[in-house]
Amino acid sequence: MRAFLLGLMVGVASGAAFTVAGRAGRAGRALLAFEPGIDSDTWGALIRLDGRAEKLVNAFGEIVPLAADLPVTFETCNRANAYYYLAPPKIVVCYEFMDLIYELHLPLASNPEHAIDNTIATTVGVLAHELGHAAVRLADLPIVARSEDVADAFAAWFTWKVLKDTEPAVGLGAFWRLLHLTGETGDANDVHSPSDVRAYNLLCWAYGAGEAPWLDEVLGDRARHCEGEFAEIDSGWRGLLGLGPIE
């Protein structure tokens, strides 16, 4: 990922335990499922084998009060996207979105297997972003920024806290950078920040988490602010969710 990102801009430590003090008695659960359809035997199988999506979904059910089960499904949608649906609450990640991520990564990857690895990591970041939307809505949290930026911050925070892994945030940042380079820069008047802004935010927060020191080559002067930015995000989400110590 390092060489890949440095090329765009001119090691995963996973499996750590996620523990939250005093969180129990949930009425609902977050339930991960893989619907049959186009690419379900490929992307769906790879996501299951990777295991990070399952860890995120399980941890989400521990920290967010759910009045009912929250389905989280990977499925064929006939469009390349991912969604959080308000009513009834549901998260969908489309296999077609994974196709798009792979197509963007492939030309700059060292080989197809590398592109697949980057696609899986990026998709985990996408899932974490949608879980951020769900957290705000289902826990009725007050936010003071536009929701898409808040969901990006949640993605960087949650993947690090649950997985001790910055690759999902780095992958998601690389995805937005790739879209920017293809001309999909985003509209300043859109609900989403422009693609390059999202890219550098996610990379900064991954760097601020302390496990991607090589990103200082990408971030330049902003790198010196990133540890503080991530600390604010960490403090903010723990405060909003009423969490005790997180290890």
The letter for the amino acid at 42 is T
User: What are the residue ranges in the chain where pLDDT is below 50?
Assistant: 10-24
DSSP letter string, 150-219:
HHHHHHHHHHHHHHS--HHHHHHHHHHHHHHHTT----TTSSSPPHHHHHHHHHHHHHHTTS-GGGHHHH
Answer positive or negative: Cα dihedral of 93, 98, 101, 105. Answer: positive
Residue 124: the pLDDT is 98
What does the block give as tokens for 165?
């892994």
Tokens of 89: 């609450």
Contacts of 118 (CB under 8 A, 6+ apart): 1, 4, 101, 105, 109, 171, 174
Can you tell me the distance from the alpha carbon of 26 to that of 47, in angstroms, rounded to the nearest whole number? 26
> Are 126 and 158 in contact, with CB atoms under 8 Å apart?
no
Q: How many helices (H) and strands (E) does the chain have?
A: 10, 4
- Listed residue (199, 200, 154, 209) closest to 12, CA to CA: 209
Name the region of 164 (left: φ>0; alpha: ψ -120 to 50; beta: rest).
left
